[in-house]
Structure 1
């Protein structure tokens, strides 16, 4: 019998990859899509083979009906309080009302349970939702993939290729987990189809430090790289506060200061960098930092 997986956020970057990975594993994907989603994204999702269901998250009856018969609901929603707490909460309520046995929330990050509240706005929203999820009558599984390794190629400013430097804060030996979006999606698809998946699963394509990145960059480019100390964690905290005050960008999901918060969390070394569940689902080929940076 084919498992039906309900997927919210399927027209986004990670969500689209999860949809493709689920379909590759033979699952039936029922994608919940807002009516105002750009048409080209919806059509692309349909071409993959997903069933498209147009929904309003506030319509509890329609949402419940859309979730009926599913073995798991997966959330790849991305946003602020109105999305992570309100819309995702409406999705959770619909899953419970429809009798869906399992729910995978939109965590997909460092394990924020080890990071004190107030150090990352986006993590605090997910922490809030986790408390709600853990009181709901449904089994949940969070996927902790660390940072998205893909961001080393540009969005994450650690590797400064023009000047052959690797930036770090405080300690160049602190290790942090990184996983590509494709590998995260493949693992999430396997977990969605696993009725015995535990509450928390940790994955990492690589666990690296700034010192490791210097070695990797020298190996893949043949150039000599050096470390560049950008400052202390205390100094980075002050910069975050200053930037947040000067450029609050309250409606932005990833303003500049939010990116700095992620870097602070990584170099604080609080989230697990070792001990993964990579081997739980055979057949996933994990991309190492060396592989990605050599492209």
Structure 2
């Protein structure tokens, strides 16, 4: 008999960029993982105990796949309530104890952040799982981690420096801090919230974790130190960027949706620096040192050079 409250885990999205890291961390923690894949998937979930291919739009197919599972985790990108309801209801019908929705966002407890169009679907899903728990149908835990589009977000010049253009984008002062995570850190967190020593404390709770806390100026200084580039600064106003994005969205123009992430990360009052409410200490997750951050950025820079060849 398992000595843990959870043993068998069903994972949706097991072969994606994030899902593969979650799968690896679950394996390292001793869980038995079943990858739930769409019928036509040709991807192989490395490390899964088994893979079940189903019609992801079929509640009956998913219910069958979830039989005997203690937890269902979704690492599927672009979650929508209309589709996520299907797997959640199937999990309940199959007797699953806990679900972990595909939240993996920044500060969703913040009132300003909750109004941003880029998170409205996740807010709807959060409300749905909270109601499920209130009705005693299933437990839930979500994991949030700040931006993890690394190194794209931090080395593309969108927010911070771009080696290719030798320019850096600085929003407002450039000193605003955002808590951010590697994919590996997110995978660790998902596994740890389900361990016996944390299962009760993480029940029906959003859990926040991070790898390090950075600003655009700090990243620019590190890349400048490593490359010798003196970056030209392109200064931008967060208020203006956010205002323009809202106006475009109201007019049906989705071309500026990505700009909402600027406020989400660095906007005053949006809670991008959520270190004060993070569960790193509880989960035993160490914050990355400045030396480790430099080494990681050095690796990104080398990888970028290799990919250009």
Taking structure 1 as the reference length, the TM-score comes to 0.83
Report the number of matched residues.
280
The separation in 1 between residues aligned to 2:59 and 2:23, in whole angstroms, is: 23
- Alignment-derived partner of residue 252 in structure 1: none
- Alignment-derived partner of residue 208 in structure 1: 214
Residue 292 (1) aligns with residue 293 (2): no
The separation in 2 between residues aligned to 1:66 and 1:202, in whole angstroms, is: 29
The separation in 1 between residues aligned to 2:257 and 2:13, in whole angstroms, is: 21
- Partner deviation per Cα, 1:32-52 (whole Å, 9 max, x = no partner): 111122x1x1xx21x423411
How is 1:254-265 mapped onto 2 (pairs within 5 angstroms)? 256-265=255-264
Over 3 Å counting, the alpha-carbon distance change for 1:285 and 1:186 in structure 2 is: farther
Report the secondary structure of 2:35's partner residue: strand
- Alignment-derived partner of residue 177 in structure 1: 179
Post-superposition offset of 1:272: 4.5
Q: For structure 1, which segment, 265-274 or 155-164, has the greater mean C-alpha deviation from structure 2 after superposition?
A: 155-164
| Gapped regions of structure 2 (runs ≥ 5) | 300-309
Kept in 2: contact 1:214–1:226 (CA 8 A): no
Post-superposition offset of 1:286: 4.6
Post-superposition offset of 1:7: 0.7
Kept in 1: contact 2:113–2:271 (CA 8 A): no
Kept in 2: contact 1:186–1:284 (CA 8 A): no
Post-superposition offset of 1:248: 4.0
Kept in 1: contact 2:160–2:220 (CA 8 A): no
- Partner deviation per Cα, 1:240-283 (whole Å, 9 max, x = no partner): 2566589846xxxxxx5232111222121412412222233347
The separation in 2 between residues aligned to 1:49 and 1:57, in whole angstroms, is: 18
Over 3 Å counting, the alpha-carbon distance change for 1:133 and 1:48 in structure 2 is: same
Post-superposition offset of 1:86: 1.9
Post-superposition offset of 1:107: 0.9
- Alignment-derived partner of residue 283 in structure 2: 281
1:224 to 230, 237, 244: 230
Q: CA RMSD in A?
A: 2.7
- Alignment-derived partner of residue 245 in structure 2: 240
Post-superposition offset of 1:213: 1.7
- Partner deviation per Cα, 1:77-112 (whole Å, 9 max, x = no partner): 112xxx421221111112222222211111111112
- Alignment-derived partner of residue 5 in structure 1: 9
Over 3 Å counting, the alpha-carbon distance change for 1:76 and 1:49 in structure 2 is: closer
Kept in 1: contact 2:35–2:50 (CA 8 A): yes
Report the secondary structure of 1:220's partner residue: helix
The separation in 1 between residues aligned to 2:157 and 2:55, in whole angstroms, is: 32
The separation in 2 between residues aligned to 1:229 and 1:168, in whole angstroms, is: 5
1:85 to 57, 81, 88: 81
The separation in 2 between residues aligned to 1:154 and 1:170, in whole angstroms, is: 18
How is 1:71-220 mapped onto 2 (pairs within 5 angstroms)? 71-79=70-78, 83-116=79-112, 119-136=115-132, 137-148=137-148, 149-151=150-152, 152-154=154-156, 156-193=158-195, 194-198=198-202, 199-220=205-226
Post-superposition offset of 1:173: 1.9
1:22 to 22, 26, 48: 26
| Gapped regions of structure 1 (runs ≥ 5) | 250-255
Taking structure 2 as the reference length, the TM-score comes to 0.80
